[in-house]
Structure 1
Amino acid sequence: MSSGQDVPFVLGTGSVENEDAYAVLDAYFAAGGRYLDTARVYGRAEAVVGSWLADRGVRGDVVLLVKGGHPDSRWRPRLSRAAVFDDARASLDDLGVDSVDSYLLHRDDPGQPVDAIAAVLTELVESGIARAVGVSNWSSERVELLLDALARNGGPPVSWVSNYFGLATVAAPSPYPGVRSAVPSLVDLARRSGFPVLAWSGLSSGYFDGRRAAIFESAANAARRDVLRSVAERHGASPTAVLARWMSTRPAIVAVFGSADADHVVELISAARDPRLDDPVADLVSTLGEAMDDIGDFPPGA
């Protein structure tokens, strides 16, 4: 990341839906955070972010990563040119901007040829709606095909691929169809091709803080949680701090952390920056050993 970013993660705005969220955005920005992740389906998030940008006068300092083209309420794909451009223009209106820094397609439609999708992404850049483009919840195989299609047709590069990645392995089919994780083949492709993996739900929906998250309930994840807590205790740190530092230092991974609490955001920033947490992170990785191999994977049929 660049553009003056001094926080090693992107702030997710899925919990930013009212004016009280200004405190969260202010805390992130004051600490040097400049990258905001938002989406057309995040309720009022885009409108709140847009109001905050205008009130604070900081549009030129903030990098907007915006997702659109989400399936409809019956989970039917919406990646036609018309649907994507309708979403993109609505996002510009709510955000109060003329263009966004990167526009990501929120889901794939495996039944649609990648050349058609590449054409839509190219037009988003050529029209001035987005300076860069990316995709979210795509398999590594489809991303590789998209990279090839964009290169063949003189399109823009893929700047981001946003998939799930976290310490917890998904243990049950997601209630949200079409989600994908950053499996090793995608991370390898990211390293070779030069795009970062934007890891949504970097804190695994709060599972390691004790929240119930049905898709993460498994004996394997419970064991990882116990190891994380034990390692944190040995080093006099909090489990969340160790987890935040681990996520923020993974090769080719850029974590997305979100919170509705400004103090929690400040704590995450402090932990993500703290090199003193590298020892407990190394201890965590060493202790888990081979149990780290399938981190982030979704089960068959998810």
Structure 2
Amino acid sequence: MKQLHIPGVDKPLSRLVMGTGDLRVLEEPQRQMLSAYIEAGGNVFDTAHQYRGREQVLGQWLAENHLREKVVILSKGAHHDDGSPGARVNPEAIRKDLTESLERLGTSYVDLYALHRDDPAAPVGPVIEELNEHLAAGRIRVIGASNWSHHRVQEANDYAAAHGLTGFTFNSPNLSLAKPNEPRWEGCVSADLSTCQWHAGNQLPLLSWSAQAGGFFSGHFTPENQSDEEMVRVYYSDNNWERYKRSVQIAEAKGVTPIQVALSYVLNQPFPTCAIIGPRNQEELQSSIEAMNLELTPQEVEWLDLIREEI
């Protein structure tokens, strides 16, 4: 499996990240899926304090299989809808969520730790200082943001640089070929053109959640099919249907599927990327692995994204 490096993490990261948001139980199908991911060369698991018990399930499986030191854990905290009411981008919430996440996972550290949501009114200084305390204590290897605008990430990193501290070394917004009309969930951030240009300029790794846009490119959706209210609200637009049409054309030319083209789009950006995936079975996992190995030219990426009219 293809890999990338994030300074501060002592092992390379597989570019396909196994999402655990749906990992509610550890029955045989789930065990087989997780094992198949490891056997394919995957080694990064995405979880969060806010995922209501998923951290315990992941920690149990890692312990049973003696895998903790062989994998990379990405966890997140300081979600606004996680326990105490009100804004939670502050040192107290970070400290609470991280401590509880470590207990749930059954580990003394997480490799990557991201702030799950942002509060643009919260000053970045106390947040960066708190995270640096956990870096120094070894409870975190590297820090990042999930669902922060790139302007806020830059503000945090500027503060870190000015105070001799470590800043965010990765970013984890949504990035997908289908562009959302509005946030899929409250407080979510999706990478737009300016965000991608910012990442291209500084080469900060981007770990994309919902990289396949909820299955928009699976062929299960059409403009006439309005049955899935969330998909209609978030992804149904003339531009996205044109992107789907173009993904079909490239898929036919390359002998693949449109959803594989959509995933390849995320992995062929001009900056380092990983894609967080949530396969329901081993066939979908294999499809994602094949998509990871599908090369797209910069011209094809821009054509898919409606930036150019010809390849």
Structure of greater relative contact order (alpha carbons < 8 Å, 6+ residues apart): 1
Equivalent positions of 1:1-302 (< 5 A) are: 1-2=4-5, 5=12, 7-20=14-27, 21-72=30-81, 76-171=86-181, 173-174=182-183, 176-209=185-218, 210-211=220-221, 212=228, 213-214=231-232, 215-252=234-271, 253-275=273-295, 278=296, 283=300, 285-286=302-303, 289-290=306-307
Between 173-182 and 103-112, report the one with greater CA deviation: 173-182
Matches of 2:260 and 2:127, distance apart in 1: 39
C-alpha distance after superposition, 1:89-119 (max 9, x if no partner): 1111111100000110001111111112111
Deviations 1:20-73 (A, max 9, x none): 322221111111111111111223321111011111111111011111110126
Residue by residue over 1:142-174, the C-alpha shift from the partner in whole angstroms, topping out at 9 and shown as x without a partner, is 111100111122222312111111011112x32
Amino-acid identity (%): 30
Other structure's SS at 2:276 match: strand
SS of the residue corresponding to residue 254 of structure 1 reads strand
In 2 relative to 1, CA 287–150 (structure 1 residues): closer, same or farther, beyond 3 Å? Answer: closer
Q: What TM-score comes out, normalization by structure 1 length?
A: 0.87
CA distance in 2, matches of 1:64, 1:44: 15
Is the Cα–Cα contact under 8 Å of residues 12 and 36 in structure 1 kept in the other structure? yes
Unaligned runs of 5+ in 2: 222-227
Residues 192-218 of structure 1 deviation map (CA, whole Å, 9 limit, x = unaligned) = 444211111100111111254131011
Aligned counterparts of 1:113 and 1:233: Cα–Cα separation in 2: 49
Contact residue 102 and residue 130 of structure 1 kept, 8 A: yes
Q: Could you say if the C-alpha distance between residues 231 and 274 of structure 1 is closer, same or farther in structure 2, counting changes exceeding 3 Å?
A: closer
- Per the TM alignment, residue 7 of structure 1 is displaced from its structure 2 partner at its CA by 4.1
| Maintained 8 Å contact 1:66/1:103 | yes
The alignment's TM-score, normalised by the length of structure 2, stands at: 0.84
- Segments of 5+ residues of structure 1 without an aligned counterpart are 293-302
How far is the alpha carbon of 1:189 from its aligned partner?
A: 3.2
| Superposition CA RMSD, Å | 2.4
Change (3 A) 1:58 1:205: same
